[in-house]
């Protein structure tokens, strides 16, 4: 699908706030599946079922004093309201999925997220303690990233939602939510992280001053 205007056209690299430094390259980029995001993070089917239940409850209850047709007509208000709410949920999921870009490089995981308030999370592999994969039957899945706590940094659950592991409020875990072919992406992430973490860090020490010989 093509668009005449790209809100992120100013990005030097798609999904990243700046160009990649020398030695770093992109291994994978992707976005959430918006329909799966609507079902998981926004509980689309639960909301739809709730309004369907209200319709059925009002119809059955009203049939005791009026005809089934009149009762169903009166209860149709809940169906209309439910359709409106579900349409809003679908729109929110579509906007969140369109605005998000997940990037895996050979050094880090980067997440450009947020439909209204856009932010980019840069997560070096050495700051990631563990990665948890959850896969659905259709192949989509979520990779939640458990971060190290050595620097005391904390992410806001509210600001990063829905790109987080559900219900992990106290220790927010950023997540690649509802991505297609999640097992393949997890394999790419695992291999890149193992390689990056095992690389030795070589620091150049300042050269020692040579003693000056006395004349």
| Cα angle 161-86-182, degrees, rounded to a multiple of 5 | 45
Determine the average pLDDT of the residues in 46-64: 92
pLDDT of residue 2: 39
Percent of the chain with pLDDT over 70: 85
- Region 127-153 average pLDDT: 87
Tens-digit pLDDT profile for residues 2-53: 344 455 556 788 888 889 999 999 999 999 999 999 999 999 999 999 999 9
Token code pair at residue 211: 């003693």
pLDDT at 69: 87
What tokens does 104 get?
Answer: 């895996």
Model confidence pLDDT, tens digit, residues 149-191: 765 567 889 899 999 999 888 889 999 999 999 999 999 999 9
Closest CA to 124 of 147, 154, 101, 149: 147
Nearest to 99 by CA among 89, 107, 91, 87: 91
Which tops the pLDDT comparison, 95 or 68?
A: 95
Residue scoring higher pLDDT (170 or 140): 140
Does residue 210 carry a pLDDT above 60? no
Q: Which two tokens stand for residue 201?
A: 């860090």
Q: Which residue has the tokens 């990005």?
A: 11
pLDDT at position 104, please? 96
pLDDT computed for residue 103 by the predictor: 96
Bridge partners of residue 123, in order along the sequence = 109
The sheet carrying 108-113 orders its strands as 26-30, 101-105, 108-113, 119-124
Global pTM reads: 0.81
What is the token pair recorded at 169? 């409020």
Average predicted confidence (pLDDT) for the chain: 86
Angle between helices 34-41 and 44-62 (to 10 degrees): 60
**pLDDT value at position 7?**
52
- With beta carbons less than 8 A apart as the criterion, state whether 37 and 43 touch: no
The pLDDT score that the predictor gives to residue 64 is: 80
């Amino acid at each position: 699908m093509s668009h005449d205007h790209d809100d992120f056209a100013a990005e030097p690299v798609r999904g990243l706030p700046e160009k990649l430094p020398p030695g770093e390259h992109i291994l994978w980029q992707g976005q959430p599946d918006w329909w799966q995001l609507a079902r998981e993070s926004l509980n689309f089917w639960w909301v739809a079922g709730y309004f369907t239940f209200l319709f059925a409850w009002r119809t059955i209850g009203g049939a005791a004093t009026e005809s089934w047709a009149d009762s169903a007509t009166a209860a149709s208000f809940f169906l209309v309201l439910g359709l409106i709410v579900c349409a809003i949920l679908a729109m929110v999921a579509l906007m969140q999925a369109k605005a998000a870009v997940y990037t895996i490089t050979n050094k880090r995981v980067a997440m450009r997220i947020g439909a209204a308030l856009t932010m980019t999370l840069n997560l070096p592999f050495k700051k990631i303690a563990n990665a948890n994969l959850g896969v659905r039957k259709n192949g989509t899945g979520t990779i939640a990233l458990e971060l190290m706590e050595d620097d005391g940094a904390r992410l806001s659950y509210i600001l990063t939602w829905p790109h987080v592991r559900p219900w992990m409020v106290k220790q927010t875990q950023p997540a690649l939510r509802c991505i297609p072919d999640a097992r393949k992406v997890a394999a790419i992430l695992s291999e890149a992280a193992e390689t990056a973490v095992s690389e030795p860090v070589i620091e150049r020490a300042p050269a020692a001053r040579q003693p000056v010989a006395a004349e």
